[in-house]
Structure 1
Amino acid sequence: MRLHDYQESAVRFALASFRDYGGCGLFLDMGLGKTLTTIAIMDIWHAMHPESRFLVVAPKTVAVNTWPDELDKWSDSHRLDYAVACGAKPDPGKRTEALEAGATVTIINQENLGWLDSHVDVWPWDCIVLDELSGYKSPTAKRFRLLKRRRGNLSSAPGRSRHGRPVSWVLGLTGTPAAKGLMDLWAQCYLLDGGHALGSTLTSYRQRWFVPGRHNGDVVYEWLPRPEAYGRIMGAIAPFCLTMLARDKLPGLPRRTVIDHMVAMPDDTRTAYDAFRRDKWMELDGAEVSASNAGVLCNKLTQFTAGCVYPDPGMDAPVMRLDDAKLDEFDRILQESQGEQILVFYQFRDELARLKARYKGMVHTTDEPGIVAEWDAHRVPILATHPLSSRFGLNLQHSGHIVVWLSLTWSLEDYTQANARVDRQGQERPVQIHRIIEPDTVDARKLSVLAGRAELAGAVMEELRRD
């Protein structure tokens, strides 16, 4: 395989980090070829240590499609055989068969980590690749606690650990290591170096670099970084974490333009929106709608901006449709696109239902078999998907360059990963990202949150880059 110069640099950095720190974080922008770079790392390591075996843990779509496709595509350039252990829960036979194959590389999806942990007491893998490391940012999540325990084998003598052979290294891949803030970094970096850089516990990490923000008595809802925290945290993880930015490494990528479409909320919807925000309860079409806490309130207000409201659970009532203001604006974008294919992101099933009702057979979804091939053949006028369903492993850059957000997400990671379905290496046209916004609503708050998180995430990526 012929790597780009920046990919060769990433390979060298990773191999050195494995030797010195037992782990490495490659924080590479979307489209820089994290999978190919990792294949090269594993191939070189395997050449030096033929007895080594690798476990690749990835989001399901990436595990089932991207990793096998890339390994097959570059099969003439590496000596790695692989097996995919991603069978569904009702039929674990495929997973068991993959494990029994004894392949050099075993690929499994994140959801099956618990099954793997209970099914295999003595892990035969010397090295672990965590594709989309940001999926382990929560220290209370089962998948983190499981890997933390397995990661502990790194310092155990071979044959003496309850789980068998020690892990030689852990490689973490992501383009968004701090999507929500610096608190996200502790769990991810712990899995890379065993807690040496940022502390062995989340409590010690907080005490060292954070102070309580919003709290109620002893319950802290938000931790704020101390003034010196950013620089010191970046300095602590820089020896084993590497950032590369697409704008630096792929200067030939077409530019990206973000276009915000400000659409006035219809008067009737505005009246209901303001009343619900104030009272947190109302009756619509004979059905009750209420918000018991701030999270539910935000979700309900987002429904209003989407032109629909879902009744409370247990109510025998249909979704209440309020208006099609955003769909009308989408229609204008569609007309102006002059036949170009459009990737549209929605948040609620009712948005998808109304898209299908309005545009009939023009609307397709990402769960359809062979949808990428159909898209590349220009037979999909509108491809509709939820950002959580398509943020990984869906490469649409060869035949589309227009993205529309009917309803924005709060998550910077979901937002950037979703846009990267078309805004990535191989794209030859300027990317357009259209965001349909209703001013003076929760939509405006989402824009502010995404901008703030993007600023911090960008600063983290800048700090860890190496020219």
Structure 2
Amino acid sequence: MSQVKLLPHQEKSIAATKDFNRCAYYLDMGLGKTFVGSEKLKALNTNISLIICQKSKLQDWYEHFKTFYSEYNTIVYSKPLKSIPDNSVIIINYDLVWRRPELLDLENFTLMLDESSCIKNTTSNRTKFVLKLKPENVILLSGTPTGGKYEELYSQIKLLGWKISKKAFWETYMVTKKMEINGFSIPIVIGYKNVDRLKVKLKEYGAVFMKTEDVIDLPDQIDNVIKVESTKEYKKFVKNRVVVVEDNELVGDMSLTKMLYQRQLASQYNSNKTTILKDLLESTNDRVIIFYNFNDELEKIKSICENLERPISIVNGQIKDLSEYEKETEIHPENAWGSIIDVPIHNRSVTLIQYQAGAMGLNLQKSNKIIYFSLPLSSELFEQSKKRTHRIGQKNNCFYYYLITKGSIEEKIYEVLGQRRDFTNKLFKS
């Protein structure tokens, strides 16, 4: 068992929740929520602990407990078990947990939710299931618990033990207006009120808020917007809502398909963007991270990297391979004296990350350059993605390169994300 030595801000977080058996550590990305949550879990000292996380984080949590808390029986829960051993830490992902109804029989256990914002949708199967669990203790971990939308806190405050109805919560803290959608009058959040009161109330229920800049002096973050020329296909699609490109007919007969194809025409179907990406990669031999959305984008970016003979790592729904990113040295051929030597080299890897799979949780501070081939619609994923490199251990300024097609939907998406709002909300309100 490795000895865990917490940083001062981590010790402060745990001390602030000493008298709470239900608490939330809303610590900015990179401040070490994993260790804070684990030490709190250890202090609560229940026979069984259940950790629910994203699928991409299952192995990380397993290795974390095996390395630092080997006194526990650490189990990745995939298939139902006949019995759970004493002193166990059970790890399961959000997409599977609601398919394991036997977990509802657990009692007197500690529940820890990694990225607790994953239960923001009160109508989803995962959220409804988690709220049915009967834990003795609760630990919530998130760097972005609301993604800027306080209405999405409701499931989490229920777990913290705040007994307030959803109606009262909205009336107290949300500013809404009614919209007619398909004959139904639906309340839409247009602002917030009593925010300071809300934060005070959350602290009364064991929530700790901590931003990176309040704790650590990290290097600067530098944005670089690179304008990309549009294409005649994009302009034709905007005008006619239909175009044929690369033997694919794109028909934007609905608002959502129109938006989808505009995004694809501005990225994967825009040869000007792939040319600029190639030029950018040729301009540096540093490790580079590239965020993308669509599978066809991945294939085109991979092709560019292969042509440039750049080593590739990939993180998406099917693959999590960071081996090239992690490399520090390579074996060089025999030198003039006939011996084999390890020579440190510059890691030229390019790591391709799909937002949903890798914008949260990865530690990529060995790199300080991120290229955004295309943008997400989610403000939370966008903000989280930037923190993959801007975190503890980063010694260099972080550079972000946004490839934005001129006169396209990408300009609007970038503007809305800059306001820390989801672009889908902007579309819905429109």
TM-score by length of 1: 0.77
Judge conservation of contact 1:263–1:437 (CA < 8 Å) in 2. yes
Match of 1:114 among 98, 102, 108: 98
Output the CA distance in 2 between the equivalents of 1:383 and 1:287: 28
Judge conservation of contact 1:179–1:413 (CA < 8 Å) in 2. yes
Output the CA distance in 2 between the equivalents of 1:435 and 1:281: 27
2:16 aligned with 1:13, yes or no? yes
Partner of 2:126: 143
Match of 2:414 among 444, 447, 467: 447
Moved more, 256-265 or 351-360: 351-360
2:88 aligned with 1:104, yes or no? yes
Shift of residue 395, structure 1, vs aligned partner = 2.0
Shift of residue 248, structure 1, vs aligned partner = 1.7
Distance 1:443 1:121, change over 3 A: closer
Match of 2:275 among 318, 328, 338: 328
Partner of 2:261: 300
Judge conservation of contact 2:113–2:140 (CA < 8 Å) in 1. yes
Judge conservation of contact 1:372–1:395 (CA < 8 Å) in 2. no
Judge conservation of contact 1:63–1:107 (CA < 8 Å) in 2. yes
Shift of residue 419, structure 1, vs aligned partner = 2.4
Match of 1:357 among 294, 303, 307: 303
Question: In the alignment, residue 43 of structure 1 is paired with which amino acid?
Answer: K
Output the CA distance in 1 between the equivalents of 2:320 and 2:243: 44
Question: In the alignment, residue 351 of structure 1 is paired with which amino acid?
Answer: E
Distance 1:343 1:11, change over 3 A: same
Question: In the alignment, residue 377 of structure 1 is paired with which amino acid?
Answer: K
Distance 1:270 1:113, change over 3 A: closer
SS of match in other structure, 2:140? strand
RMSD of aligned C-alpha atoms?
2.6
Partner of 1:223: 189
Shift of residue 242, structure 1, vs aligned partner = 1.3
What are the superposed Cα offsets for residues 48-81 of structure 1, whole Å, 9 maximum, x if unpaired?
xxx542111111222222x223223324xxx740
Match of 1:395 among 325, 347, 363: 363
Shift of residue 404, structure 1, vs aligned partner = 0.5
SS of match in other structure, 2:382? helix
Partner of 2:154: 186
2:99 aligned with 1:133, yes or no? no
Partner of 1:60: 55
Q: How many residues align?
A: 394
Question: In the alignment, residue 146 of structure 1 is paired with which amino acid?
Answer: F
Match of 2:392 among 407, 415, 425: 425
Question: In the alignment, residue 272 of structure 1 is paired with which amino acid?
Answer: K
SS of match in other structure, 1:254? coil
Unaligned runs of 5+ in 1: 154-166, 309-322, 456-467
SS of match in other structure, 2:18? helix
Output the CA distance in 1 between the equivalents of 2:224 and 2:246: 35
SS of match in other structure, 2:289? strand
2:377 aligned with 1:410, yes or no? yes
Partner of 1:158: none
Shift of residue 284, structure 1, vs aligned partner = 5.2
SS of match in other structure, 2:160? helix
SS of match in other structure, 2:81? helix
Shift of residue 147, structure 1, vs aligned partner = 1.6
Partner of 1:386: 354
Question: In the alignment, residue 208 of structure 2 is paired with which amino acid?
Answer: L
Output the CA distance in 2 between the equivalents of 1:408 and 1:220: 29
Output the CA distance in 1 between the equivalents of 2:237 and 2:243: 10
> Kindly, what percent of the aligned residue pairs are identical?
19
Output the CA distance in 1 between the equivalents of 2:10 and 2:106: 30
What are the superposed Cα offsets for residues 28-51 of structure 1, whole Å, 9 maximum, x if unpaired?
0111111111121122222xxxx5
Distance 1:369 1:297, change over 3 A: closer
Shift of residue 392, structure 1, vs aligned partner = 3.4
Shift of residue 386, structure 1, vs aligned partner = 0.7
Question: In the alignment, residue 149 of structure 2 is paired with which amino acid?
Answer: G
Judge conservation of contact 2:116–2:140 (CA < 8 Å) in 1. yes
Partner of 1:172: 140
Distance 1:213 1:444, change over 3 A: farther
Judge conservation of contact 2:268–2:300 (CA < 8 Å) in 1. no
Output the CA distance in 2 between the equivalents of 1:420 and 1:401: 10
2:12 aligned with 1:45, yes or no? no
SS of match in other structure, 2:420? helix
Partner of 1:311: none
Give the strand-richer structure, 1 or 2: 2
Judge conservation of contact 2:242–2:249 (CA < 8 Å) in 1. yes
Judge conservation of contact 1:190–1:200 (CA < 8 Å) in 2. no
Match of 1:85 among 76, 79, 88: 76
Partner of 2:333: none
Shift of residue 123, structure 1, vs aligned partner = 0.4
2:32 aligned with 1:33, yes or no? yes
Output the CA distance in 2 between the equivalents of 1:212 and 1:369: 43
SS of match in other structure, 1:15? coil
Judge conservation of contact 1:410–1:449 (CA < 8 Å) in 2. no
Shift of residue 454, structure 1, vs aligned partner = 6.6
Distance 1:140 1:71, change over 3 A: same
Unaligned runs of 5+ in 2: 329-346, 423-430
Judge conservation of contact 2:116–2:142 (CA < 8 Å) in 1. yes
Output the CA distance in 2 between the equivalents of 1:192 and 1:176: 17
Distance 1:260 1:171, change over 3 A: same
Partner of 2:168: 204
Shift of residue 115, structure 1, vs aligned partner = 2.7
Output the CA distance in 2 between the equivalents of 1:62 and 1:286: 38
Output the CA distance in 1 between the equivalents of 2:395 and 2:151: 37
TM-score by length of 2: 0.84
Distance 1:135 1:404, change over 3 A: same
Question: In the alignment, residue 9 of structure 1 is paired with which amino acid?
Answer: K
Judge conservation of contact 1:345–1:405 (CA < 8 Å) in 2. yes
